[in-house]
């Protein structure tokens, strides 16, 4: 039996929460917003060519694993990251690492997670959680979405580690192996801010960052005429589901990022960052307005003037706000 002394803390977002909890285990105290910001987790992309449940994928975050990878790299933390082809090999490696005294982060699919409430289960393969021990085929889990520690069987854990579909986890596991005693967090904060700003306003492709938000708005205006009312409503519902239900997403990520900017303003002694944190919170509210009115549209409860054009106009306002914020952030200096 292996059962490490692990402090479970809930989080707003699974991967940034896992990153924080793993670093805390190694006695480096960091907040979830700080882990998210240094890891440059905030992003936007609209991928019409990549379907998830028969509708284009909208992502409000970077690819799975990048928050942990970037945050630990910028902080000078040594890590180990593994993926596998053989499920049994992945479980043998997990057991061996636990027996060495390391809690382990895992990327998993949520559809078959037995401790998830039924309404949370969907074919989403970018969820993250921590394993901190095992005993006779039972694994001890810290999942930042759950209020309490939970357990899972060997068979169920292997199943969710090798879920099929988009962004299949392929048994991915990761963990810190060496955390320096003295870490200067300031350079990591600045690099994280510049990376996020570049992701949002510096990439030339039209489907990512603020350009991606505008691209989605343009596509949305044509949905009803091109796809018909039923499929247009389904496409809109998919955007809203990715925004509100999957991995914290649109508004939630902006609230977390606003908290990061507020904390960074104190650490760096740059008060203007706190002003931008307030603007980020206001824009998060605008994303929530979009999702609320969009859901009324999907349920045929919206007012006649709250059309796809109306929703697209909200997205354009959001894009303008975010471009202003991230162009300012791109100018940050030491």
Fold for the domain defined by 2-30+78-178: Cathepsin B; Chain A (3.90.70)
Phi, psi values for residue 82, rounded to 5° = -135, 145
pLDDT of residue 252: 84
Q: Return d(Cα 112, Cα 298) in angstroms, integer.
A: 28
Coil, helix or strand at residue 238 = helix
Q: What is the pLDDT along the chain (334 residues), one digit of tens a residue?
A: 999 999 999 998 899 999 999 999 999 999 999 999 999 999 999 999 888 778 898 888 888 889 999 999 999 999 999 999 999 999 999 999 999 999 999 999 988 999 988 776 777 888 999 999 999 999 999 999 899 999 999 999 999 999 998 789 999 999 999 999 999 999 999 999 999 999 999 999 999 999 999 999 999 999 999 999 999 999 998 898 888 766 555 678 899 999 999 999 999 999 999 999 999 999 999 999 999 899 888 877 656 567 899 999 999 999 999 999 999 999 998 7
**DSSP bridge partners of 79:** 176
CB-based contacts of 141-147 (< 8 A; 24+ apart in sequence): 141/115, 142/6, 142/8, 142/21, 142/103, 143/14, 143/115, 144/9, 144/10, 144/11, 144/13, 144/14, 144/17, 144/18, 144/21, 145/10, 145/11, 145/14, 145/116, 145/120, 146/10, 146/115, 147/10
In the chain, domain spans: 2-30+78-178, 185-329
């Amino acid at each position: 039996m292996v059962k490490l002394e692990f402090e479970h803390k809930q989080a707003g977002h699974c991967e940034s929460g896992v990153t924080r909890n793993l670093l805390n285990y190694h006695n480096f105290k960091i907040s979830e917003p700080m882990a998210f910001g240094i890891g440059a987790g905030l992003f936007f992309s609209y991928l019409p060519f990549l379907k998830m449940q028969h509708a284009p994928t909208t992502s409000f975050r970077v690819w799975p694993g990048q928050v942990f990878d970037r945050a630990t790299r910028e902080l000078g933390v040594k890590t180990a990251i593994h993926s596998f082809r053989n499920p049994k090999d992945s479980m043998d490696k997990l057991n061996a690492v636990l027996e060495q005294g390391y809690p382990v982060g895992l990327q998993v699919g949520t559809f078959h997670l037995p401790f998830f409430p039924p309404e949370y289960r969907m074919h989403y393969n970018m969820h993250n959680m921590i394993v901190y021990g095992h005993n006779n085929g039972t694994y001890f889990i810290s999942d930042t979405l759950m209020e309490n520690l939970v357990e899972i069987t060997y068979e169920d854990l292997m199943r969710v580690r090798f879920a099929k579909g988009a962004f299949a986890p392929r048994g991915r596991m990761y963990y810190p192996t060496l955390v320096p005693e003295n870490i200067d967090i300031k350079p990591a904060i600045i690099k994280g801010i510049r990376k996020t700003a570049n992701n949002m306003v510096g990439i030339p492709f039209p489907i990512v960052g603020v350009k991606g938000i505008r691209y989605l708005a343009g596509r949305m205006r044509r949905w009803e005429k091109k796809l018909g009312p039923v499929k247009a409503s389904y496409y809109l519902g998919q955007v809203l589901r990715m925004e509100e239900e999957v991995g914290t997403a649109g508004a939630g990520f902006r609230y977390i990022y606003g908290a990061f900017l507020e904390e960074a303003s104190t650490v760096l002694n740059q008060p203007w960052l706190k002003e931008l944190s307030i603007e980020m919170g206001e824009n998060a509210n605008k994303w929530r307005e979009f999702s609320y009115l969009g859901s009324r549209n999907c349920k045929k409860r919206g007012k006649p003037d709250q059309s796809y054009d109306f929703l697209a106009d909200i997205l354009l306002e959001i894009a303008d706000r975010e471009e202003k914020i991230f162009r300012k952030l791109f100018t940050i200096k030491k």
